[in-house]
A and B are shown apart, each in its own frame.
Chain A
């Protein structure tokens, strides 16, 4: 029996226990998703018999590899809780079934959720760029992109039970919480002193914009983190960095040049004027471009912290993925761009 077969056997054993009415269970179309540096992800269909009837259920399983890049910022247990809260809301998200912290089952914590129909082209490759460019011309997907973000920002997060994420106090508390969170990641990275990062953090703490609204914030809203089906967003994915905070934090990410490649279209997809018009009309919020500029510098800090963490994982032997080692040389590039944003 190969490691893959053994893993699938364990999944079947687990699912059989979770679905007591099901028998003759098997997995079909098993696909391990190679993208991403955080949680291991498998997509598959479960075929089974229930009351004499043959059935099929599409599932997605995410397992914590124990060295995920953002592991301490958002574990799978929290992702499960967030997705559970989003069920029966307007936010397109997968239905979640089970979360298991018992290491005896699959060797690490994991969650099982619905396999939502759709595809998720990477916006960093030639094929993905062509996909989004074509979709932009049709016009339906850009509208759906903006609409899905507005469903997030207009969600009654208290009613949905999302206040467990932590509710920032008034004034500058949201930004201070975010900066503290990323400071923690930097400290855990084991990276040596980095004066440009120290300067960035000091600048961010000294220039916090006023927060006008508190909403659910995804924290990485862009193409590549959104599942697309029939020219519409079928699910918002990658619930790893969500917070209750300033919606301009997400808007800044949409506006960011980091998330487009050789096109003026936001996230390679949406015309800027259309995004402003549709977002402001649907949320009632005015996009604060000064706040967005601030949050874009925060994203630069985040990216630098991410690379510090990634290269640290490789250096410390917690990961053998050479893509992480490579990020050591991505760090000066990000820091240089951030320094330019601060005027040097």
Chain B
């Protein structure tokens, strides 16, 4: 039995056995919620290796595309930092920089860059939805 499967078993016990046996409303809800949370964790855990690989591939592709765009100044610095760090924090910093420098870089380049980032964000959201919905 994998860890994810064990968590799913525990979730079922909480929802089907423990929760219904609890009389008071608040702890009953809590028992049910504990089951729901374990189900979510189980689903997330089961998908984690595949998602981690997909996130890494997506970041490589994003960095390559952004690097292929001619940029200058703060925008270029933010892209360079993303290429080095490859994490969510530097991606946030790049997005912030794009909005702040929008007038500097012009709408053409702003939308070229932000649209490409949106493509990656959507892919990431779709992965998260696989275990969240």
Q: Is residue B89 contacting chain A, with contact meaning CB distance below 8 A?
A: yes
Q: How many A-B residue pairs have CB under 8 A?
A: 80
Residue B89 contacts which of A193, A325, A339 (CB distance < 8 angstroms)? Answer: A193
Residue A196 contacts which of B114, B125, B132 (CB distance < 8 angstroms)? Answer: B125
Residue B37 contacts which of A206, A322, A335 (CB distance < 8 angstroms)? Answer: A322
Residue B128 contacts which of A199, A202, A332 (CB distance < 8 angstroms)? Answer: A332
On whether the beta carbons of B26 and A333 are closer than 8 Å, the reply is no
Interface centre among A34, A198, A321 (most CB of B within 10 A): A198
- Which positions 65-113 of chain B face chain A at CB distance < 8 Å? 87-89, 91-92, 95-96, 98-99, 102
Q: How far is the CB of B38 from chain A (nearest CB, A)?
A: 10
Q: Is residue B117 contacting chain A, with contact meaning CB distance below 8 A?
A: yes
Residue A332 contacts which of B91, B119, B129 (CB distance < 8 angstroms)? Answer: B129
On whether the beta carbons of B118 and A329 are closer than 8 Å, the reply is no
On whether the beta carbons of A325 and B121 are closer than 8 Å, the reply is no
Q: How far is the CB of A192 from chain B (nearest CB, A)?
A: 7
Q: Is residue B57 contacting chain A, with contact meaning CB distance below 8 A?
A: no
Chain A residues, Cβ within 8 Å of B122: 339, 344
On whether the beta carbons of B33 and A34 are closer than 8 Å, the reply is no
Q: Is residue A137 contacting chain B, with contact meaning CB distance below 8 A?
A: no
Range for the number of chain A residues in contact with chain B: 20 to 34
- Which positions 317-342 of chain A face chain B at CB distance < 8 Å? 321-323, 325-326, 328-333, 335-336, 339, 342
Residue on A nearest B90 in the bound complex, by CB: A193
On whether the beta carbons of A322 and B30 are closer than 8 Å, the reply is yes
Q: How far is the CB of A205 from chain B (nearest CB, A)?
A: 7
Chain A residues, Cβ within 8 Å of B98: 202
**In the docked arrangement, what's the CA distance between A262 and B9, Å?**
33
- Which positions 185-211 of chain A face chain B at CB distance < 8 Å? 192-196, 198-199, 202-203, 205-206
Residue on B nearest A335 in the bound complex, by CB: B125
On whether the beta carbons of B33 and A325 are closer than 8 Å, the reply is yes
Residue on B nearest A203 in the bound complex, by CB: B99
Residue A325 contacts which of B37, B99, B125 (CB distance < 8 angstroms)? Answer: B37
**In the docked arrangement, what's the CA distance between A335 and B132, Å?**
12
On whether the beta carbons of A336 and B34 are closer than 8 Å, the reply is no
- Which positions 119-133 of chain B face chain A at CB distance < 8 Å? 119, 121-122, 124-126, 128-129, 131-133
Residue on A nearest B30 in the bound complex, by CB: A322
**In the docked arrangement, what's the CA distance between A329 and B131, Å?**
8
Chain A residues, Cβ within 8 Å of B34: 322
Chain A residues, Cβ within 8 Å of B125: 196, 332, 335-336, 339
Residue on B nearest A324 in the bound complex, by CB: B33
On whether the beta carbons of A199 and B129 are closer than 8 Å, the reply is no
On whether the beta carbons of A193 and B133 are closer than 8 Å, the reply is no
Q: Is residue B40 contacting chain A, with contact meaning CB distance below 8 A?
A: yes
**In the docked arrangement, what's the CA distance between A143 and B76, Å?**
56
Chain B residues, Cβ within 8 Å of A326: 33, 36-37, 40
On whether the beta carbons of B30 and A321 are closer than 8 Å, the reply is yes
Q: How far is the CB of A50 from chain B (nearest CB, A)?
A: 36
On whether the beta carbons of A333 and B89 are closer than 8 Å, the reply is no
Q: Is residue B13 contacting chain A, with contact meaning CB distance below 8 A?
A: no
**In the docked arrangement, what's the CA distance between A313 and B98, Å?**
31
Nearest 7 CB-CB pairs, A to B? A202-B99, A344-B118, A332-B128, A322-B33, A193-B88, A198-B92, A329-B132
Known A-B contacts: A195-B121, A196-B125, A344-B118. Give 17 more (CB < 8 A). A34-B26, A193-B87, A193-B91, A193-B92, A195-B91, A199-B121, A203-B99, A322-B33, A325-B33, A325-B37, A326-B40, A332-B125, A335-B125, A336-B125, A336-B126, A344-B115, A344-B119
15 residue pairs of the A-B complex, CB under 8 angstroms, read: A196-B124, A202-B96, A206-B102, A322-B30, A322-B34, A322-B37, A323-B30, A326-B40, A328-B40, A332-B128, A332-B132, A333-B129, A333-B133, A336-B128, A343-B118
